[in-house]
Amino acid sequence: MEAGIVGLPNVGKSTLFNALTAAGIASENYPFCTIEPNVGIVSVPDPRLDVIQSFIKTQKVIPAILRLVDIAGIVRGASEGEGLGNKFLSHIREVDAIIHVVRCFQEPNVIHVDGSVDPIRDIETIDTELMLADLQTVESARDKAARTARSGDKDAKAKVEILNQCQTLLAEGKPLRSADWHDPEMFNIVRNYGLLTAKSVLYLANVDEDNLTGEGEVVDRVRARAAAEGGEVVPVCAKIESELSELDDYDRKEMLESVGLDEPALAVVARAAYKLLGLQSYFTAGEKEVRAWTIPIGATAPQAAGVIHSDFERGFIRAECYSLEDLETYKSEKAIREAGKLRVEGKSYVMKDGDIVHFLFNV
């Protein structure tokens, strides 16, 4: 899973990226500090892994992975090349989801490119630039598909119809994610063009230190905006998260308790990103490793096996599954099997979040 962190300059993107990845990338108080996109690989915190390991002793624990891309600040006119322009819009095309950092804090010493804090105005600035960029892509793709369609190509005709729908939405000032794409094939066509506003958005409201839960009118406006487009909002104080990232486990826990937080932002962001993208985790467990694997909600057992290796999906025979609750009750896989709680599932089985699985397959 890959998410791109976007926003206006000086909203806290790089500070937040540093906190989440502990990458130590420079963040300065001026626009365009980020010139090339910084990339960080972070583990997705999942306490279920520790529970599994407490019963199944293993050599290593491997969590699911989230790839974060810190993309430079986008300014008004970026779609026409302003600021650092289309170079950075192209980086967003490659990610699965957008994490949009919105400034919701007041700090006179941190410059705002528009002179004041107004999160909805800032969101609309970014959305407008992404929609204008999409409009250029859609018009170019539609003209190309229309030429092919004149020869009678059915696929090209379908593309023209879908691209016309996209153009209408964009011309009305509506991001493509606002459409209800019932037909998976239609959505796949939209996605294959790398259209920016078709991507799901997770808003991170960068809040003041004295408002860590994001109370009040400013963040509520962001929540209302997200709700209207099926998105999510996570209040985060990038400054505090930056401090937490520099502490050891003991001091981090102590600081979290002192500010009234249960966990660092990474755990909250990862869960919100999973929910937004319709993802879940299953686990494999053995003497060598306990590992989390990321799959879409609704994935079948063979599809889940294919995440490990394509041969597993191709030669799938069956899946032997049990739950974390079973492991906690019976204490071992052997006892789960003896109690008749080990489930044998076939090709049509739809995976459940948290399944612990052994796959059997033919090479």
Helix axis angle for 119-149 and 217-228, nearest 10°, is: 20
**Does 87 appear as a known binding residue?**
no
Distance of CA 59 to the CA centre of its chain: 29
**Does 173 appear as a known binding residue?**
no
Ramachandran area for residue 48 (φ above 0: left; ψ -120 to 50: alpha; else beta) = alpha
**Does 109 appear as a known binding residue?**
no
**Residues 147/199, Cβ–Cβ less than 8 Å:** no
The torsion angles phi and psi of 280, rounded to 5 degrees, stand at: -150, 175
Q: How many residues are given for the chain?
A: 363
**Does 29 appear as a known binding residue?**
no
Name the DSSP letter for residue 87.
Answer: H
- The b-or-e profile of 127-144 (16+ CB within 10 A means b, else e) is bbbbbbbbbebbeebbee
**Does 15 appear as a known binding residue?**
yes
| Nearest of 174, 347, 141 to residue 360 by alpha carbon | 347
| Nearest of 23, 198, 190, 19 to residue 101 by alpha carbon | 19
Whole-angstrom distance, CA of residue 196 vs CA of residue 190: 10
Cα dihedral 261, 119, 125, 74, rounded to 10, equals -40
**Does 288 appear as a known binding residue?**
no
Residue 86: which residues within 8 A CB-CB, separation 6 or more?
78, 79, 133
Residue 278: which residues within 8 A CB-CB, separation 6 or more?
296, 297, 298
Residue 274: which residues within 8 A CB-CB, separation 6 or more?
1, 44, 280, 281, 294
**Can you say which residues are annotated as belonging to the binding site?**
10-15
**Can you say which residues are annotated as belonging to the binding site for ATP?**
10-15
